[in-house]
Amino acid sequence: MKSFFLGVLAVVAVFLVIGYVGVITGTLIPANADGTPGKLERWAARQSLKATIAREAPSGAAPIPANDETLNAGIKIYGDNCIVCHGAADGRSSTVGFGLYQKAPLLGKHGVEDDPEGEIYWKVDHGIRLTGMPAFGHTLSDTQVWQVAVFLKHMDSLPPAPNAKWRALKNPAMLVPTDKLPKQMRPKSSG
Ligand code: HEC
């Protein structure tokens, strides 16, 4: 029995040493932002995010109505805080959003209209750990976080006035030249 436990301890020690050497040599967790995440990393990050949101995100509808006032305020907040990474209505990638690890999703193209409002609110409020997604809960008011969440929820069905405002927003960052983008991220017209 004693030798069995010693054997287990030896195996654990070997894994710890491999892990330690992997970390300090930068081979297990490389520090570059221009790599592609491995399957295990993607799985762990997704599971953890899903479980945290299930536990913490508010359920039910937003506490403010999705009227023009809310949507216009949400669009203004998006233009001031989010567009640099998540892009404008044209769904074009900026050098900033494209260079991040993980790449920032282009919300004008692949929006989050299908997600519950509470989930969008949670992501904006708390951010997403180990990605470029910042937490805005300490810098925007609770109402402002809801306003931008409600705008994202209704992005594909905006009334005319907010829609015009949204389409007029321009990304202040430099856009990635189309030929530098992988095929799936290119605007439709360029093939
Ligand atoms: C510095 C860049 C950056 C800024 C600024 C930023 N985000 Fe993000 N955001 C990200 C990245 C990167 C992700 C992807 C995280 C991941 O892969 O899980 C993300 C993810 C999200 C998601 C989840 C998308 C999905 O498909 O599930 C939402 C919603 C979101 N951001 C909203 C916002 C809003 C609203 C703002 C502004 C108030 C904002 N973000 C500002 C980088 C940014």
Q: What is the pLDDT of residue 182?
A: 85
Q: Which pLDDT tens digit goes with each residue over 32-45?
A: 989 888 899 899 99
Please give all residues whose beta carbon lies within 6 A of any atom in ligand 1, as ranges.
77, 81-82, 84-86, 100, 102, 104-105, 112, 120, 123-124, 128, 131-134, 136, 148, 152
Q: In this predicted structure, what is the pLDDT of residue 38?
A: 86
Mutation to probe ligand 1, out of 46, 48, 85, 155 (largest number of atoms < 8 A from CB)? 85
Average pLDDT of the chain to the nearest whole number = 94
1 pLDDT higher than 70: yes
H-type helices in 63-158, by residue range? 68-81, 83-86, 95-99, 117-126, 142-153
Mean pLDDT of 151-180: 96
Q: Quick one: pLDDT at residue 176?
A: 93
Give 189's pLDDT tier (boundaries 50, 70, 90). Answer: low
Q: Of the residues 50, 76, 86, which should be mutated to test ligand 1's pocket, given the most ligand atoms within 8 Å of the CB?
A: 86
Q: 90 Cβ partners below 8 Å, 6+ apart?
A: 108, 187
Q: How confident is the model at residue 191 (pLDDT cuts 50, 70, 90)?
A: very low
Question: ∠ CA 42-177-95 to the nearest 5 degrees?
Answer: 50
Q: Which range among 16-20, 30-34, 170-174 shows the weakest confidence by mean pLDDT? A: 30-34
- What is the whole-number distance in angstroms between the Cα of residue 29 and the centre of ligand 1? 23
Which range is least confidently modeled, 29-33, 97-101, 115-119, 124-128?
A: 29-33
- ∠ CA(25), CA(96), CA(116), 5° rounding? 100
Round the CA-based radius of gyration of the chain to a whole number and report it: 21
Which domains does the chain carry? 66-181 (1.10.760.10)
Q: Measured in angstroms, how far is the CA atom of residue 46 from the centroid of ligand 1?
A: 14
d(C-alpha 68, C-alpha 162), whole Å:
6
Q: Residues 185-190: what's their mean pLDDT?
A: 71
Rounded to two decimals, the pTM is: 0.91
